[in-house]
Structure formats: C-alpha cells, structure tokens
Amino acid sequence: MESILAAHETLSSKANLSKALQDVDALISLLQNARDNIESDPDTTPLHIAKLKTPLKQSFDKIDDDLKEVNKGLNQYQKALKDKFKASALPTASIGSNASDGAATGLDSQRSLVERAIAMHLLREGKFDVASTFVKEVSAQAAGQDDPPRWLEDFADQEGGEDENMDEDEDGELDEELYGELGRGHLQRKFAEMYHILDALRNQHNLTLAIEWARNHSAELEDRGSNLEYELSRLKFVELYTSSPDDANTALLNALDYARATFPTFNSRYARETAALVTTLAYSTQLADSPYSPLFNNPSLWTSTSQLFTREFTSLLNLPSTSPLRTAITAGGLALPILQKVERIMSTSRGQWTSVNELPVETPLPANFMFHSIFVCPVSKEQGTDLNPPMMLPCGHVIAKESLEGTSRGKSRVKCPYCPIESKPGEARRVYI
C-alpha cells in the first residue's frame, strides 16, 4: 500500500488541477484586459493584439506543462493500483445476467433494492438535490412499467401540509436553500428535518430544536428506553452553567432555574445523575479541581450528543443509524484483501469456488458490522443458509433443514437429536435470525 499512498500524496499535493486552474484564470484575465483596452480605444487594436502574442503562447505552454504533471501523477497512481491489485477474476455467478436463459440474476434481479439503497444513502448524507434528481430519473424509467418500484412511494410528492416540525422562514414558507427541490415525500421531509436540527446542534451549538423534537416524541423515546431527552437537557444545563464566564453568578442562577424546571421530570430514571449535576453548583469556584470536572470538560460532548440524536431519529423511522450502502461498501472493502488472497491461492492450486451464495473462508469484521448471530447446525456442523435454514422442533431445539430431512427420511415421526421428544417433520418451523 506504500506505493499507492505515495502516488495519492503526489496527486493531492502537486499533480492536481489547482495550478492549471490558476493559469487558466490568469489567461482569461489577460484576454479580458486586452478586450477592455480595445473597447476603450479601438484605434489601438493592432497594437494590443501584437502585445498578446507572446504572453498568450507562454500561458498555453504553462497550462500544457501543468496538465503533463497531472497526467504523470494519474499514470503513477494507476500503475500503483495495478501493481497492488493485479487483475483477477473473482466468482461472478451471483452478479449480473449470467444465466443461460438470459434471466437477471444476483444484483440485476434486485435492481429496485439497489436503487432504493442509493436514494436512501443520498438522503442520509444530506444530498437532497442529488437524491431528488436520482428519484426523478428512476421514476421516469419506471413510468411505463406495469409494476413500478414501491419504494418510490416514500419519495414521491404527497398531498397535504408539511410536517409540523419543518422549518419555515418569516413568511411561513419552507427554507428552499435548505430543502432544495424536495417536494412532499415522507422520507425526504423527515431527513430534511433531521439535518436542520443537526445543523443547529453541531454547527451552532443550539439545543432548542433538538430539545423540542425530543419533547414532541417523548413517549416514543421512553418506550425505547432512550436517554436522548435527558442527555439534551444535561447538555443544556452545562451550556447555561458555562455560558457567562464574565458573569458567573448569572450563569449559575440560569443553570439552577433550568434544573428546577427540567430535572424533576427525570427523577424516576436519572435521580442520581441529576443530583450530581445540581451538586456541582457548590463547586462553581473550583469546578476544574472538583470530582465533577469530567461532566463539563468533555470536548466530544456535542459530537456524541449529535450522534445519539441521529441514532434515535432514524430508529423512530425504523431505519439503522448508519447508511446500509455505506456499511455494505465498507464491509466489502475490509473483506476484499482476504477474498483476493483466497482467489490467488485457488488459482495457484487450480481449485474451484463451488459455493455461489457462501464465502469459502471467514471474513472477520469489526463488532459494529455484526447485526445478527450466525446459526451453525449442532448436528451437521454446517452454517445455515437460505437453502438450508435453521428449523425449530416442537421441543424447542433447533437444527438445520438438511439435518432434519436426513433424520426423518422414510419416517413419519422424528426424534430430536438432543432430547427424547418425538414429533412430525411438518411440525418444525423455520427460524429467522
């Protein structure tokens, strides 16, 4: 990877278009000055044109040299990539239209899911204009289909008023600069609302909108066991406490008034935490040396609260806190070196990758990429798949479908491999992990 990093550094520092763009701007400025001089005194046109000949040639030479440096950097980068990732053919049976009858397979058969993942990713990244354009193009392509993608309903314009929490300007109109060409789609409005609140929270350190949203959804957050509303109130207390270093008494009184009005609502779950916050008032003159200093001297407090807000907001939409497309691409990037090594070994040993829907080796990923347990049949010791899913017997024990079929072959009743209870094979139920 050292050669790739070195080539990337070269592209970033020297072999980029910044110098070429500067020279192009200088050339344009030169031509504009000549034009202005000619307009002001047309009789001097031949003189100004003659003066342009040499500077014009020098400017084009500079631009050519700049582009040569860019091309050289790109070639070095391309060569480094080819040396590191040598051309190799990984199995493609599940990608593209490889079926003998021409039918779509793999990702082609899931085109609608891929398009929805892209649209959702654009929304979640705050690229509202790009998302709107993408959805319009997909809608235009699906206009003549008998069964258009259902996910477009979440992005299509809807009749009715705006979400009650949507931002409006002084005239009661939506902030077009913020929302772009979003229309009235449910998910579009929700993510626009989320980014509006996050902008106030991250960039302006303004808690008003986030606290208001948390209060409006207090019951839903409580059912989830969320601590978002308390964390926002705690951060508001800290903000008031430290807001006026030149007038400490006013800051303390404001923090105390806020604590009296807000903290009693959290006593059932956070009595100990709120008591600790109020106790810090007694250490106001020596807060940095007090046991409560970590409650205030936390530079990542605003960032962590913003992440918590994002997680809770998306959870109420029944969506994960991070973009599934980003997760899939990141996981694929982490697994790629292992898959390349497997492919090289198989090429050397003339082995074959016979399992289309299953990887031949384990690809260890970080814990945040583990979303569910992997079932391994206790009888066959094989990992469960869509074709060989886990099946629960009436006694509660779970084995793989192939193990169940092998055990019950030619029998009307089957005995559980782990207990004496017998049952009919048809009584087993598939387990979804």
Q: What is the pLDDT of residues 123-171, one digit of tens each?
A: 888 888 888 888 888 888 887 777 777 777 777 654 444 444 444 444 4
Burial class of residue 387, CB neighbours in 10 A (0-12, 13-18, 19+): exposed
What is the pLDDT, as a whole number, of residue 312? 92
Q: What pTM value is reported for the model?
A: 0.57
Q: Regarding the domain with residue range 373-433, which homologous superfamily does it belong to in the CATH classification?
A: Zinc/RING finger domain, C3HC4 (zinc finger) (3.30.40.10)
Q: Helix crossing, 111-124 with 324-349: angle to 10°?
A: 130
Kindly give the pairing relationship between strand 390-392 and strand 105-106: unpaired
What is the pLDDT, as a whole number, of residue 41? 87
Q: Which distant-in-sequence residues (6+ apart) come within 8 Å of 322 by Cβ?
A: none
What is the pLDDT, as a whole number, of residue 288? 75
Query: So where are the chain's domains?
Result: 2-84, 373-433
> Could you say which residues of the chain have pLDDT below 50?
90-100, 158-184
What is the pLDDT, as a whole number, of residue 309? 92
Q: Which distant-in-sequence residues (6+ apart) come within 8 Å of 127 by Cβ?
A: none
What is the pLDDT, as a whole number, of residue 214? 92
From the list 374, 393, 396, the residue with the least C-alpha distance to 385 is 374
Q: What is the CA radius of gyration of the chain?
A: 32
- Report pLDDT digits (tens) over 377-406: 888 888 888 788 899 999 889 999 999 888
**Placement of tokens 């407090």 in the chain:** 301
Burial class of residue 391, CB neighbours in 10 A (0-12, 13-18, 19+): buried
Task: Count other C-beta atoms under 10 Å from residue 193's C-beta.
Answer: 21
What is the pLDDT, as a whole number, of residue 156? 61
What is the pLDDT, as a whole number, of residue 398? 92
